[in-house]
Amino acid sequence: MKAAVTCTHLIRDIDRYRQHFEDAGLELVVCDVPGQELAGDPLVEAMDGVVGVVAGDDQFTDEVMARLPDLRMISKWGIGLDGIDLPKAAERGVTVTNTPGMFGNEVAEQGLAYLFALVRGTLDVDRQVRAGGWPKPVGRSIGSLNATVLGLGDIGRTLVMKLRALGVTVSGSDPSPEAAEWANEHGVIIGDAAELSSDVDVLMITAPLNSATRGMVDATFINGMRQGSWLINVGRGPIVVGSAVADALEAGHLAGAALDVFEEEPLVDERIRHAPNCILGSHNASNTYEACHRTHEQAIKNLIDGLGAF
């Protein structure tokens, strides 16, 4: 059986993991992924004769899967499943797994890094000193802040606890019963994101992308945030409307933003690229040595276990 790898993180380290596939009797196909993901015809061509794949952010639409009669297993490297048409995969008998709980700590850490950089003006100071200046911006003490975390899955919960350890007053927003139960157990106020964010210093987004969250943080939402607040997105790009962020930054309604993810990736929005006081990431918050290798192991195990059922 042929098994493919399209996840760029695993492709980078594939020599260390070839034996896993060989021991399972799988013929390994390491795909050429020029960018961050495969979609459409290039994805179909890469999956020719493949029964299972360790996938990155590839777009397994119904149209793509209809052209892949051999495909039986998609092992998603990471958490987000928004690139896979799950109902159609089930109809076609394609098993889909992911790797929750692998890098909540790492993404939460990156969220904190963005927060520190924003409220102390770190990047702007760096730029001005390199240009010959010697600025003395007045920042904010982390422990004086209050924040709302949008999305209380593994990443969001980890972020909440790290923020609280720093003295930040934290509330959360997530519609799931599990999130409500967790929040109650840990004494975290939970509520509607728009209502909560109207009275906090920073909104930190860790939510998954789904029909409810897509475009959720739009102009109306952002204009309802407190004047001079900050916005940080380490969740999914399409949750936030980039043009609304650019407008709010240019108008001074937002004091700053940090975006690790975008509506279209790699980033093409020139207004966001040149927006004042906006830190830009590259969808890279989970990418540490430790997190990648634990996720490699789990994603490959999911694939092998899944194919063992056929």
120 and 263 share a domain? Answer: yes
SS3 204: strand
Which tokens hold the place of 146? 């209050």
CATH code of the domain in which 273 resides: 3.40.50.720
pLDDT at 176 over 90: yes
Instruction: Report the C-alpha gap between 191 and 214 in whole angstroms.
Output: 19
296 and 259 share a domain? Answer: no
pLDDT at 310 over 90: no
Q: Angle formed by the axes of helices 122-130 and 104-120, to 10°?
A: 60
DSSP assignment of 52-93: EEEESS--B-HHHHHT-TT--EEEESSS--TTB-HHHHHHTT
* Residue 243 confidence (pLDDT): 97
127 and 162 share a domain? Answer: yes
Q: Percent of the chain having pLDDT more than 70?
A: 99
143 and 266 share a domain? Answer: yes
Range of the domain at 58: 2-99+288-307
268 and 130 share a domain? Answer: yes
pLDDT mean over 272-282: 96
pLDDT tens for 100-149 read 999 999 999 999 999 999 999 999 999 999 999 999 999 999 999 999 99
pLDDT mean over 295-304: 98
Q: Percent of the chain having pLDDT more than 90?
A: 98
- Average pLDDT of the residues of the chain: 97
Pairing assessment for the beta strands 146-150 and 202-205 based on DSSP bridges: parallel
Backbone angles phi, psi at 241, to 5 degrees: -85, 110
pLDDT mean over 39-65: 97
Report how many domains make up the chain.
2
25 and 94 share a domain? Answer: yes
SS3 36: coil
132 and 252 share a domain? Answer: yes
111 and 72 share a domain? Answer: no
144 and 268 share a domain? Answer: yes
* Residue 309 confidence (pLDDT): 65
76 and 150 share a domain? Answer: no
261 and 143 share a domain? Answer: yes
pTM of the entire structure?
A: 0.93
50 and 183 share a domain? Answer: no
